[in-house]
Amino acid sequence: MRALTNTRVFRSVFRHGFPSSNRNRSLVVFSSFFLHFHPVKVRLRAIRFTRTFYLGGLCVACFFILTVSGIFLMFYYRPAVPHAYHDMKDLVFVVSSGTFLRNLHRFTAHMMVALALLHMAWTFLRGAYRPPREFNWVIGVGLLVVTVLLSYTGYLLPWDQLAYWAVTVGTNLVAATPLVGQKIKLLLLGGHAINDNALLRFYVLHCVVLPMVLVLGIGLHVWRVRKDGGIHLPPEVRTLAPGATEAMATTSKEAAQ
């Protein structure tokens, strides 16, 4: 092991030794692209399961599964009217584990919407929307809207009757917006009918634009949780002197125990 960790190549990637001391743990967190999002230390009482039910984290996990399964689906799907429906049928009846892949993507999408709503409700009930977290609440509302839009734009892609009429109803609802409604509908459909143009637009929105917005939004949202002093704690817990009833835990070792 030492022979590996002492090599120049290993040292050029991992700048610090094994996180076995407090100092090394801090250095590992500070110097890691992925971990620097996370505080070096968290209190045990802040990561108690019932504090958040990990609902925000579960939303992130759903988004990760959706991204990976979505990339696999892109290998089998062509966003054009002559192909879209048949590609979905091929996926289910011809492609090995295609039904599993399609259902994984579909059900995870339903779950993400449900989890985001539950996360919002629990955040509200805990009063975590109050200052200084009101801006993060607004970012959260934006994330919920983008999550719903992702579900909606994905709905048209199979190009079946359900998809076609759902998008007809949805875009007609948008058209009812005063002043700008008709313009937004034209922009969404790329014309006055639901055809190839609409399919391509919904595809690009679903696979590129909205996921990018969500990645940026989630990054900002989680960063704000950290900048706002971590998870919101009830006043009676917050006023306890640090260490009065609970020990501090580092993010790595003790927190997992």
Residue numbers at the binding site for ligand HEM (CB under 6 A): 52, 54-57, 59-60, 116, 119-120, 123, 128-129, 133, 136-137, 140-141, 143-144, 147, 218, 221-222, 225, 231-232
Closer CB to ligand HEM, 56 or 158, in the complex? 56
CA pair distance 29, 41, nearest whole angstrom: 10
Q: Residue 41 forms beta bridges with which residues?
A: 250
Closer CB to ligand HEM, 42 or 222, in the complex? 222
| Residue 90 contacts residue 77 (beta carbons within 8 Å) | no
Closer CB to ligand HEM, 122 or 164, in the complex? 122
Q: How far is the CB of 109 from ligand HEM (least distance, A)?
A: 12
Q: How far is the CB of 112 from ligand HEM (least distance, A)?
A: 7
Q: How far is the CB of 211 from ligand HEM (least distance, A)?
A: 11
Closer CB to ligand HEM, 44 or 200, in the complex? 44
Closer CB to ligand HEM, 136 or 171, in the complex? 136
30-38 contacts: CB < 8 A, separation 24 or more? 37/222, 37/223, 37/226, 38/226, 38/251
DSSP H helices, the chain, are 2-5, 8-13, 22-31, 49-52, 55-74, 84-93, 98-125, 134-156, 161-175, 181-189, 196-204, 210-227, 235-238
End-to-end CA distance of the chain: 25
Q: How far is the CB of 46 from ligand HEM (least distance, A)?
A: 9
CA pair distance 257, 249, nearest whole angstrom: 10
| Residue 55 contacts residue 122 (beta carbons within 8 Å) | yes
Q: How far is the CB of 137 from ligand HEM (least distance, A)?
A: 4
Q: Give the burial string for 4-32 (b: 16+ CB within 10 Å, else e).
A: eeeeeeeeeeeebeebeeeeebbbbbeee
Closer CB to ligand HEM, 181 or 211, in the complex? 211
Q: How far is the CB of 224 from ligand HEM (least distance, A)?
A: 8
Closer CB to ligand HEM, 88 or 112, in the complex? 112
Phi/psi region, residue 157 (left: phi>0; alpha: psi -120 to 50; beta: rest), is alpha
CA pair distance 181, 187, nearest whole angstrom: 10
Q: How far is the CB of 126 from ligand HEM (least distance, A)?
A: 6
